[in-house]
Amino acid sequence: MLIDICANLTHDSFDHDFDDVLRRAHDAGVTQMMVTGASMQGSEQAAELANRHEQLFATVGIHPHHAEETSREALATLKGLLENDKVKAVGETGL
């Protein structure tokens, strides 16, 4: 069993063949993937993808490259996302 712990599947380069990417990963033995959230939008997208696909899980966070997004509201949103059973970790945070 292989698990990809840093799948950046929220990137728009996967929009045209997302299902094929998941299929190829499965065919290669990757049974689960952790979709990384590195911004508010990316974190919300990661959680959404995880909710739609059994083999996907998510992280949520704000990378320092997106530090300008940090606010009390953003942190409250991230905290809410952490209540989702498919969200397994905090990150990307630049630690």
Q: 5-28 pLDDT, tens per residue? A: 999 999 999 999 999 999 999 999
Query: Is it the case that residue 92 has pLDDT exceeding 90?
Result: no
pLDDT at 90 (0 to 100) = 96
- Angle, CA 32 vertex, CA 26 and CA 37 arms, to 5°: 120
Query: Is it the case that residue 94 has pLDDT exceeding 90?
Result: no
Measured distance CA(29)–CA(85) in Å, rounded: 24
Mean pLDDT, the chain, rounded, equals 96
Q: What is the pTM of this model?
A: 0.93
Question: Whose CA is closest to 42, among 26, 60, 16?
Answer: 60
pLDDT at 95 (0 to 100) = 72
Which sequence spans correspond to the domains of the chain?
1-10+30-35+44-95
What Cα–Cα distance (Å) separates residue 93 from each residue in 18, 19, 43, 65, 88?
Answer: 25, 28, 11, 9, 14
pLDDT band at 4 (very low <50, low <70, confident <90, very high): very high
